[in-house]
């Protein structure tokens, strides 16, 4: 059996997919016949871009978790809350369901996203033997859940606008909010710039079907 | 789809500019709107957060609805004119970005989360804006379900 990579197959067929509008083009074209975007059989630079964005996001995740994300003044007492201490506080005040939602949106999702994307990029860069099918499903899940981290920022913005009564009761955002916003932005970008066709080029003699 | 679009536009302005949450604390009442929420963090100097909230909850949905409305109108009346065909092409190219930017469903959940969080030390009431915002979310959900990007491209292709 002759094993041919996905890229070779595409070149043999003389076809190339447009990444903007998903139109199939013949590969002698430089620009898509439908939307006139530049065509590339594979965008190898996208792997580097994606790594760069992901590493930046991973670094920013540290200040996002260590620094306080909100500052609450309640009758003269100032309390700084990090993401985690906010959740612990929710658990102690008997709001377990809300605590679970916030935990998933602001701790679980960013970590799963960064670790998942790193696995995905490693699999492409270092040819790790992980099933391509599983990787692709994981990638779509990551792309979808990524949006839910925005929940924390929305809650902060509503709380800050609502609670402004000076010394009595006052909520303000704190430095981690910016870092957290950047983590979301960068991870979403890292998933978006990546040319997912790169995954399918790897040769797998044992199970070529996935 | 045109009907859904117009409905969404009608809900859009009250959703963003009517008060969504109301707080009663020691006799004083404060209200906030979605729009004020974004600007409050902006004023505190956290402009990255402010921009993110503004983009995901106000600008994103607005542009998405307007873009789909423009696309429907062009498909109905403007396909024979080259200028409108070019505009439609640009709009279709931006569609993916706009639908990713729109995060109405998350904002609806965040109403719930923040009201529960604040109910710890004060009374919280939902305003008219909450109803409008939830309706905006539902209408936009159905609009996005009806919308088929590939179909739009085919319509454009048919008129080359």
Q: Nearest chain A Cα to B120, which residue?
A: A93
Question: What distance in Å separates the CA atoms of residue A157 and residue A168, rounded to the nearest whole number?
Answer: 19
Q: Nearest chain A Cα to B159, which residue?
A: A34
pLDDT score recorded for residue A11: 67
DSSP H or E segment with residue B40? helix B34-43
**In the structure, what pLDDT confidence band is assigned to residue A204 with cuts at 50, 70 and 90?**
low
- Along the 160 residues of chain B, how does pLDDT read in single tens digits? 888 888 888 888 888 888 888 888 777 778 888 888 888 888 888 888 888 888 888 899 999 999 999 988 888 887 888 888 888 888 888 888 888 888 888 888 888 888 888 877 778 888 888 888 899 999 999 988 888 888 888 888 777 6
Interface of A with B (CB under 8 A): 20-23, 34-37, 74, 90, 93, 95, 98, 101-102, 147-148, 150-151, 153-165, 168-169, 172-173, 177-178, 180-182, 184-185, 188, 192
Q: For residue B106, which residues of chain A lie inside 8 Å, CB to CB?
A: 147-148, 150-151, 154
pLDDT tens for each residue of A6-53? 666 666 677 888 877 777 888 778 888 877 788 877 888 888 999 999
E strands in B4-138 = 21-25, 28-32, 123-126
Check residues A141 and A207 and name the one with the higher pLDDT: A141
The yes-or-no verdict on residue A210 having pLDDT over 50 is no
Tell me what the pLDDT averaged over chain A comes to: 82
**How far apart are the CA of A154 and the nearest CA of chain B, in angstroms?**
6
pTM of the model: 0.83
Q: Nearest chain B Cα to A162, which residue?
A: B32
Question: What distance in Å separates the CA atoms of residue A141 and residue A148, rounded to the nearest whole number?
Answer: 12
Q: For residue A23, which residues of chain B lie inside 8 Å, CB to CB?
A: 153
pLDDT score recorded for residue B81: 82
Question: What distance in Å separates the CA atoms of residue A85 and residue A65, rounded to the nearest whole number?
Answer: 10
Prediction ipTM score: 0.85
Check residues A4 and A202 and name the one with the higher pLDDT: A202
Exposed / middle / buried, residue A140 (Cβ in 10 Å: 0-12, 13-18, 19+): exposed
Instruction: Determine how β-strand B28-32 pairs with β-strand A77-81.
Output: unpaired
Q: Where are the alpha helices (DSSP H) in chain A?
A: 6-13, 45-66, 83-92, 96-103, 109-126, 132-145, 150-162, 176-193
Are the C-beta atoms of A54 and A190 separated by less than 8 Å?
Answer: yes
E strands in B19-130 = 21-25, 28-32, 123-126
B41 in A contact zone (CB under 8 Å)? yes
Within 13 Å of residue B4, how many CA atoms lie on the same side as its CB?
16
The phi and psi torsions of B31 (rounded to 5 degrees) equal -125, 165
Within 13 Å of residue A95, how many CA atoms lie on the same side as its CB?
20
């Amino acid at each position: 059996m002759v094993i041919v990579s996905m890229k070779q197959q595409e070149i043999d067929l003389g076809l190339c997919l447009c990444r903007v509008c998903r139109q199939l083009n013949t590969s002698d074209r430089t620009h898509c016949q439908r939307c006139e975007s530049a065509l590339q059989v594979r965008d190898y630079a996208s792997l580097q871009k994606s790594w760069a964005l992901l590493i930046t996001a991973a670094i920013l995740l540290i200040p996002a978790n260590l620094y306080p994300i909100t500052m609450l003044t309640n009758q003269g007492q100032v309390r700084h809350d990090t993401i985690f201490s906010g959740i612990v506080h929710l658990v102690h005040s008997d709001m377990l369901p809300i605590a679970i939602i916030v935990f998933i949106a602001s701790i679980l999702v960013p970590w799963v996203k960064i670790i998942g994307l790193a696995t995905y990029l490693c699999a492409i860069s270092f040819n790790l033997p992980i099933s391509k099918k599983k990787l692709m499903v994981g990638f779509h899940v990551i792309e979808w859940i990524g949006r839910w981290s925005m929940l924390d920022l929305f809650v902060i913005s509503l709380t800050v606008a609502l609670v402004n009564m000076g010394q009595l009761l006052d909520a303000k955002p704190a430095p981690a909010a910016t870092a957290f916003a950047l983590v979301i932005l960068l991870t979403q970008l890292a998933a978006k710039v990546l040319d997912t066709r790169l995954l399918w080029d790897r040769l797998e003699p044992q199970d070529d079907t996935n | 789809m045109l009907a859904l679009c117009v409905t969404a536009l009608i809900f859009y302005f009250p959703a963003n500019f009517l008060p969504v949450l109301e707080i009663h604390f020691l006799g004083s009442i404060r209200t906030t709107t979605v729009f004020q929420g974004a600007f409050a963090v902006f004023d505190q100097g956290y402009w990255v957060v402010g921009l993110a909230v503004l983009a995901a909850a106000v600008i994103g949905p607005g542009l998405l609805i307007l873009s789909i409305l423009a696309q429907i109108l062009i498909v109905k009346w403007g396909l024979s004119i080259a200028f409108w065909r070019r505009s439609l092409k640009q709009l279709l190219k931006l569609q993916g970005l706009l639908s990713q930017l729109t995060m109405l469903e998350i904002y609806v959940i965040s109403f719930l989360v923040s009201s529960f969080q604040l109910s710890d030390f004060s009374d919280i009431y939902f305003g008219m804006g909450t109803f409008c915002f939830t309706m905006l979310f539902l209408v936009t959900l159905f609009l996005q379900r009806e919308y088929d990007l590939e179909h739009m491209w085919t319509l454009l292709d048919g008129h080359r």
